[in-house]
Amino acid sequence: MDIRKKPDLTLARKRSKTPTMTIEYDQNNEIQNLGLGKKYLIQTHGCQANEADTEILRAMIEEQKFTLTDKVEEADLILINTCAVRETAENKVFGELGRLKSLKKVNPDMILVVAGCMSQEEATIERILTKYKHVDIVLGTHNIPEFIHYLHYVMTERKQMIEVISQEGSITEHLPHARDSRFKAWVNIMYGCDEFCTYCIVPYTRGKERSRRKEYILNEVKALIEKGYQEITLLGQNVNSYGLDFEEGNYDFSDLLSDLAQTGISRIRFTTSHPKDFSDSLIDVIAKYENVMPHIHLPVQSGSDTVLKKMNRKYTKEQYLDLVHRIYEKIPNASITTDIIVGFPTETEHDFLETMDLVTKARFEGAYTFVYSPRKGTPAAMYETTVSKQEAKDRLHRLNELVNEGYLKGNMRFEGQNVKVLIEGKSKTKEDVYSGYTENNKLVNVKCSDQEIGNIVLVHITKAKTWSLDGELVRS
Ligand code: SF4
């Protein structure tokens, strides 16, 4: 095993003042056709940042002439793009690596790659080195541009290797993309996170906040428009702090959003927002432009000031609710969704009831809810917990009941209305039914045809259910 660099969480926590450098992607012209006659498969876990990374890795792999397969038995290259946010996601990956061991015995030439956030954790590497020695390449989130060099090395030298950089200060531009959709695209606007919420591993796995220069983002979006893309989702761990790392410091997320809205792309979404940085000028931009979608995902995590402080979220329940009210005031049609953690160490019944109260007052139309999962290396993992597993499970159940009422109420307000829907494809359950999303990000099922896929159509909503809306196509 060639161990070039192992992750180091202490180093990953450090934030240098060095300005972000932009470098151009090395096209790897000297390495060609590694995958001629070979097949590949990628498994992606976790958030949109990982999905976007997978699109880059896929493009790099396809440039080497590998072709896609959905059967692990057929694959000559299997890449697992991992997520470190929750223990369950990590266990899934280790389970999969265990299963692939027997496949590797049958096909020793098969190359097994572990990428993504788990690679950035010291504990993962130790486990791979002791129990999963059949893994060929481990690369971190900062090493993606180098992937083809690693692959070439492993295929020609017949060695295994690990290279995980823990601190990243640069951005690589002009990376290739093999996009999953021909009408919806992820657009990274920044990388990393400097917030250090005490329960979260992301600032250690994805490095310091680095914003892409606006010229690159605008050019990427203009190219997408030319190719017929209808919708972009701007990605960042905290999009609201976009531009704060620029030395000149005079261009922020609201400026970027305003410039992107003026490109004329049909729909712009963004995720994720940190409430503490959500400015009034940003609310004004969302309210002003019709092509900035009125769906705001605004993770609150808890409604208790005591818990929020322990989480290092840097806002109070009152400040959060005040922000939500300012959003509703200027964007009355807005749908706000959120993320909530229950069972955070020391969360009392009173703290939990504060969260329930906030959920009611904020009128959320959806939420990702979780039981707290300790992440090794984070401060919260050291906190002593007073919440039993059963209590946490009960709280999650009570919270979900309330959240589900919000889903239904949010959907009900569209019954009888005509809404714009971007049709994405056939519904999974019914043959002649197609599905897509409204501007408020509501799932709609409607009878139409293949012709409508990728187009924004007008749909009359006939019935609201908890998770979706039924409608009829409005023919012009
Ligand atoms: S803002 Fe907090 S929760 Fe979100 S990625 Fe950064 S540290 Fe994690």
Q: Which two tokens stand for residue 4?
A: 């070039």
Check pocket membership of 203 for ligand 1, CB cut-off 6 A. Answer: yes
Q: What is the average pLDDT across 251-259?
A: 97
If you measure from the C-alpha of residue 197 to the centroid of ligand 1, how many angstroms do you get, rounded to a whole number? 6
Task: Tell whether ligand 1 has an atom less than 6 A from the beta carbon of residue 300.
Answer: no
Residue extents of the structural domains in the chain: 2-163, 170-412, 418-473
At 111-140, the pLDDT tens digits run 999 999 999 999 999 999 999 999 999 999
Cβ of residue 138 lying under 6 Å from some atom of ligand 1: no
Query: Relative to the CA of 237, which ligand 1 atom is closest?
Result: 5
- Atom number of ligand 1 nearest to Cα 274: 1
What b/e readout covers 317-343, taking b as 16+ CB neighbours within 10 angstroms? beebbebbeebeeebeebbbbbebbbb
Which of 195, 297, 301 for mutating ligand 1's site (highest number of atoms within 8 Å of CB)?
A: 195
**Mean pLDDT score, 250-254:** 95
Output the pLDDT for position 288: 98
- Report whether 327 contacts 283 (CB < 8 A): yes
Burial pattern 419-454, b for ≥16 Cβ within 10 A else e, equals bbbbbbeebeeeeeebbbbbbbbbbbbbebeeebbb
Site to probe by mutation for ligand 1, drawn from 202, 302, 368 as the one with most ligand atoms within 8 Å of Cβ, is 202
Distance 89 CA to ligand 1 centre (A): 17
The CATH number of 170-412, from 1.10.10.10, 3.80.30.20, 3.30.410.10, 3.90.1570.10, is 3.80.30.20
Query: Counting atoms of ligand 1 from 1, which one is nearest the CA of 193?
Result: 6
Question: What integer best gives the mean pLDDT of the chain?
Answer: 95
Closest CA to 274 of 316, 239, 305, 323: 239
Task: Kindly state if the Cβ of 301 falls inside 6 Å of ligand 1.
Answer: no
Q: Residues 239-261: what's their mean pLDDT?
A: 94
Could you read off the pLDDT of 202-243 as tens digits, one per residue?
A: 999 999 999 999 999 999 999 999 999 999 999 999 999 999
Which residues lie below 8 Å from residue 345, measured CB to CB, with a gap of 6+?
A: 310, 372, 380, 383, 384, 385, 386, 387
196 lines ligand 1 (CB under 6 A): yes
Cβ-count burial of 92 within 10 angstroms (0-12 exposed, 13-18 middle, 19+ buried)? middle
Among 78, 95, 96, smallest CA distance to 39 is for: 78
Of 167-176, 206-215, 258-267, 331-340, the range with the lowest mean pLDDT is: 167-176
pLDDT of residue 334: 98
Average pLDDT over residues 357-378: 96
Q: Is the CB–ligand 1 distance for residue 184 below 6 Å?
A: no
Site to probe by mutation for ligand 1, drawn from 50, 197, 320 as the one with most ligand atoms within 8 Å of Cβ, is 197
Confidence of residue 324 (pLDDT cuts 50, 70, 90): very high
Q: Whose CA is nearest to atom 1 of ligand 1?
A: 195
Return the CATH number of 418-473, one of 3.40.190.10, 3.40.50.80, 1.10.10.10, 2.40.50.140. Answer: 2.40.50.140
- pLDDT average, residue stretch 132-155: 95
Cα 260–chain centre separation: 20
Atom of ligand 1 nearest to the CA of 238: 1
**pLDDT per residue as tens digits for the range 421-457:** 999 999 887 888 999 999 999 999 999 999 999 999 9
Q: Take atom 2 of ligand 1 and give the residue whose Cα is closest.
A: 197
In the predicted model, what is the mean pLDDT of residues 297-303? 98
The amino acid present at 264, given as its one-letter code, is G
Nearest CA to ligand 1 atom 4: 237
Using the mean position of ligand 1's atoms as its centre, give its distance from the Cα of residue 429 in Å.
Answer: 36
Write down the pLDDT at residue 282. 98
- Residue 84's Cα: distance from chain center in Å? 12
Query: End-to-end alpha-carbon separation of the chain, Å?
Result: 64
Q: How far is CA 435 from CA 418, 449, 450, in A?
A: 15, 11, 11
Least confident of 117-126, 218-227, 320-329, 399-408: 117-126
pLDDT surpasses 90 at 249? no
What number does the ligand 1 atom closest to the CA of 200 have?
Answer: 8
Which pLDDT score is estimated for 476? 67
Question: Once rounded to an integer, what is the mean pLDDT over residues 237-263?
Answer: 94
Report the nearest-CA residue for atom 8 of ligand 1.
Answer: 200
Q: Is 457 a pocket residue for ligand 1 (Cβ < 6 Å)?
A: no
Q: Note the pLDDT of residue 4.
A: 86
* Whether the predicted pLDDT of 302 surpasses 90: yes
The model's pTM is 0.95
CATH number of 2-163: 3.40.50.12160
Q: Percentage of the chain with pLDDT > 70?
A: 100
Question: How many other CB atoms are found less than 10 A from the CB of residue 109?
Answer: 10
